[in-house]
Amino acid sequence: MAHLELFLFTWGLYPRRILIYLHEKGLFNSPHIKVTQVTISATAEMIAPGKPKGTVPILVLPDGTFIKQSVAILDYLEDICDKPEEAWQQDIASAAKTSMRGSNARGRATIREILALVDEATSMFGFACHKGSKLFLEIEPTNSAASSMAMGIVRRNMKLLEPYYEGRFEGDSSEAEKVTIADCVFFSFLQFSRELYGVDLVADSELRNLRRFYVTFKERESAKIPEDFYPLYIKELAPIWLE
């Protein structure tokens, strides 16, 4: 049986986007998608038998080629579900829920706008962590001023994202909410920053829509995480920010 192989580690910031997406898409237990956990070496390399070099997530296709960027992986999975061309793609598509990229050009553009803002915030947040969290103190040069500057860009993007969530994930209608790939990417970022690094990016009183999105989405099956989700040594150091 042809299958896709997904290399990742479950609590990773970028891999988690894909796992939340697979849940929401109804593909989490697809027999056509094999999930292979990587181990993280002392030098922070991601290792697993058969894994191509590079960052995770990585999706390996049945022809042996692979896709490396998480957003490209989401787009690829949406593409094969929207327009399956091979039998195994048909099988995946028949188990999948409807498109998560919007139903027209306007809707798709909005989703891409959100994705771009969240992706920028995500990489800035990663930089802020590397320069400002105790987790990286022994591993690389830190710089708390640089960390604060990067965090400023993250917070600016939160403000830019706020209007996109006006009227979404509200009250009784939230169950019927059509979750998009941008929602999966955004929620996984908010969860990671809060649960691992102790940074609540939606705490600002001006971010009412984003806070509602976060607290509502976190109750979804796809979003739930166990107590011991993050490795203990990382969870202990990550939320300590350098002065």
Please report, as ranges, the residues that interact with ligand GSH according to CB under 6 A: 12-15, 44, 46, 55-57, 69-71
CB 182, min distance to ligand GSH, A: 14
Separation CA 241–CA 4 (nearest Å): 39
Residues 6+ positions from 161 with CB-CB distance below 8 Å? 114, 117, 118, 121, 186, 210
CB 139, min distance to ligand GSH, A: 12
Minimum CB distance to ligand GSH smaller for 125 or for 164: 125
Residues 6+ positions from 47 with CB-CB distance below 8 Å? 38, 39, 40, 41
CB 127, min distance to ligand GSH, A: 11
Minimum CB distance to ligand GSH smaller for 55 or for 98: 55
CB 117, min distance to ligand GSH, A: 15
Q: Which residue is nearest to ligand GSH (CB)?
A: 55
Pairing of strands 4-8, 66-67: unpaired
CB 217, min distance to ligand GSH, A: 20
Separation CA 80–CA 88 (nearest Å): 10
- Look up residue 69 and give its two tokens: 């960027």
Separation CA 17–CA 194 (nearest Å): 15
Tell me if 101 sits within 8 A of 127, measured CB to CB.
no
Minimum CB distance to ligand GSH smaller for 14 or for 214: 14
Q: Which residue has the tokens 């969860």?
A: 191
- Look up residue 76 and give its two tokens: 């690829």
Minimum CB distance to ligand GSH smaller for 55 or for 173: 55
Minimum CB distance to ligand GSH smaller for 71 or for 161: 71
